[in-house]
Amino acid sequence: MIIPPFRSEPTLDFADPNSRRDFEGALQRVAARLGRRYPLVIGGELVDTRDEIRSCNPAHPDQVVGRHAVADATHVEQAVAAGWAAFRSWSRTPVAERALLLLRAAQLIRSRRHELGALMVYEVGKPWDEADGEAAEAVDLMEWYARQALELESRDKMVPWPGEATQFRYLPLGVGAVISPWNFPLALTTGMTSAALVSGNCVVLKPAETASTTAAWLMDLLTEVGLPPGVLNLLSGRGEVAGEALVDHPQIRFVAFTGSREVGVRIYERAAVVHRGQRWLKRVQLEMGGKNAVVVDETADLDLAALEITRSAFGFQGQKCSAGSRAVIVSSVYDELLPRVLELTKAIRVGDPVDSQVSLGPVIDGDAEEKILDYIQVGRGEGDLLLGGGRRVGEGHFIEPTVFGGVAAQARIATEEIFGPVLAAIRARDFEDGIRIANSTDYGLTGSYFSRAPERIANAKDQLHVGNLYINRRSTGAMMGVHPFGGFNMSGTDTKAGGPDYLLFFLQGQSVAEKL
Ligand code: NAD
């Protein structure tokens, strides 16, 4: 099969009136579809339950985006069995056929890109450019993993041996769980799921409660392009019930999880237990949180640094694992740079992201709002509140973009993931102190370093211990196939989504030698 080389999907320019008009049209069409009910999908059958989870618009919590069936342990049992039943033929389906299916799905996402973007505006409060960027990322992930699967199959791997016909090949693992978060409900769910599927595995997908509708649309889309029944099973439901039952299940072969550190660590522990009847050690990938630093030294372009600090901290309300929630600034330029950050932050327009002019929407739900406000309270005792600090009066979970100055490197707001629009500015003595501070949390996901001095940049590349390091640019916005993504330390198992090795997690190598 010959397919053209990978090319990143371009994002839309909403300065173009045609793009704006198209997206507005999609927002209206999707609005007419809100509030529908979505069943579980097990072995291709639609299964409804009496209980339901309501996924609501965080800008208007009374607006129901989707009503979802709720899986329990019995559904987990059925879905795992359906997966194994489908595995027999799916694992033997030629890689080229599985890759083609992914490419068809990517094409379908392209053709529904505005609708998918619009759905994420309603379901998780993404501003337009973030929602569109995510749809493009989902396309990239499918396109990338389709090519990677073909490449792995054809790679000439081992040295020939006289008198033997030898082979080294990759086999799928079996049936696995994909447990996804709400903040990239399309891209991350697509990424983990499509990588598992193209490798020949079957999947039971448990999406986040607050983003169940996007996952249901993805399930429909994959069914539409011809994924056989049982290869992908959708269990909307609660993490502590369906998620936990999946992780514990003895017939689950692997768990691919993206989400919080707290839940990730719990999954790691539980998946290590070998249950009665279990014939393998579960393979687990955990991509978790971050407390990412943007370090600026005195040689840096301060206008650029101010812009990128602001974008890193407040893009999608700071609800990105890659968000730059710490600005670590060398003392000699701290007082010059921070006012520029404050100016840019003041200009951020907060509101309902259906409005194209809004760049900061709501946080995901009432629990998140409460947690972020609690951290802001903690921050009042740990630094100087320079901007924001409150919630917007009225409906919706809106929190003002908030900046604390003079924060100590080991303060709670400088070391714990807040996952909201809160930036902690930290003064560093010099560039070495800046790097030391950047490395001083348990996390190690992304980081940025701003400098004009080549030796400082070389030093930062050598010293900053993060999975995704950026020089003179923001800490967010990894592109699949370009910036393989995954963190060190408590940010996760560093499986590097969108990278050259990602599929290996979903495969096991078999060596075959035949005496001639
Ligand atoms: P979360 O951990 O609360 O939930 C993630 C998923 O786990 C959801 O589907 C949830 O239902 C499920 N879950 C909850 N409890 C469970 C349990 N006991 N057993 C099994 N499953 C369970 O995370 P979230 O709030 O959805 O997402 C935000 C977090 O994800 C942040 O910490 C963010 O940094 C992180 N994240 C990391 C990356 C990355 O690539 N490193 C990307 C996106 C988000």
| Domains of the chain, each with CATH number or no CATH | 17-288+494-515 (3.40.605.10), 293-481 (3.40.309.10)
pLDDT of residue 248: 98
What distance in angstroms lies between residue 476's CA and the mean position of ligand 1's atoms? Answer: 18
Instruction: Look at ligand 1, atom 35, and give the residue with the nearest C-alpha.
Output: 259
Neighbours of 387 (CB within 10 A): 17
Q: Does the CB atom of residue 260 touch ligand 1 within 6 A?
A: yes
CA distance 438 to 435: 5
Q: 319, 183 in Cβ contact below 8 A?
A: yes
What distance in angstroms lies between residue 300's CA and the mean position of ligand 1's atoms? Answer: 35
CA distance 248 to 204: 13
pLDDT of residue 158: 84
Q: Does the CB atom of residue 288 touch ligand 1 within 6 A?
A: yes
Instruction: Look at ligand 1, atom 16, and give the residue with the nearest C-alpha.
Output: 239
pLDDT of residue 194: 98
> Which member of 298, 321, 400, 417 is catalytic?
321
Q: Does the CB atom of residue 318 touch ligand 1 within 6 A?
A: no
Pocket test for ligand 1, best of 258, 265, 365 (most atoms within 8 A of CB): 258
Pocket test for ligand 1, best of 55, 123, 179 (most atoms within 8 A of CB): 179
What distance in angstroms lies between residue 331's CA and the mean position of ligand 1's atoms? Answer: 36
What distance in angstroms lies between residue 260's CA and the mean position of ligand 1's atoms? Answer: 4
> Which member of 287, 308, 400, 417 is catalytic?
287
Q: Cα–Cα–Cα angle for 188, 190, 193, nearest 5°?
A: 105
Q: Does the CB atom of residue 247 touch ligand 1 within 6 A?
A: yes
Q: Does the CB atom of residue 263 touch ligand 1 within 6 A?
A: yes
Q: 201, 174 in Cβ contact below 8 A?
A: yes
Ranges of residues in the chain whose predicted pLDDT is under 50: none
Query: Which whole-number Å values give the CA distances from 145 to 174, 188, 195, 407, 476, in the listed order?
Result: 18, 13, 6, 42, 22
Instruction: Look at ligand 1, atom 19, and give the residue with the nearest C-alpha.
Output: 244
Q: Does the CB atom of residue 239 touch ligand 1 within 6 A?
A: yes
What distance in angstroms lies between residue 192's CA and the mean position of ligand 1's atoms? Answer: 13
Closest by alpha carbon to 54, among 78, 79, 41, 35?
35
Query: Which whole-number Å values give the CA distances from 507 to 166, 283, 317, in the listed order?
Result: 19, 10, 36
Q: Does the CB atom of residue 192 touch ligand 1 within 6 A?
A: no
Q: Between helices 113-124 and 212-224, what is the axis angle to 10°?
A: 160
pLDDT of residue 450: 98
> What is the phi/psi pair of residue 198, to 5°?
-65, -25
Q: Does the CB atom of residue 492 touch ligand 1 within 6 A?
A: yes
What one-character DSSP code corresponds to residue 504? G
Q: Does the CB atom of residue 181 touch ligand 1 within 6 A?
A: yes
Residue with tokens 């030093």: 459
- Max CA separation in the chain (angstroms): 78
pLDDT of residue 154: 84
287 is catalytic: yes
Q: 248, 239 in Cβ contact below 8 A?
A: no
56 is catalytic: no
pLDDT of residue 486: 97
- Number of alpha helices (DSSP H) and beta strands (DSSP E) in the chain: 15, 21
pLDDT of residue 132: 98
Pocket test for ligand 1, best of 76, 141, 183 (most atoms within 8 A of CB): 183
Q: Does the CB atom of residue 483 touch ligand 1 within 6 A?
A: no
What distance in angstroms lies between residue 280's CA and the mean position of ligand 1's atoms? Answer: 25
Which atom, in ligand 1's list, is nearest to the CA of 263?
Answer: 2
CA distance 23 to 419: 27
Q: Does the CB atom of residue 183 touch ligand 1 within 6 A?
A: yes
Q: Which two tokens stand for residue 145?
A: 């993993």
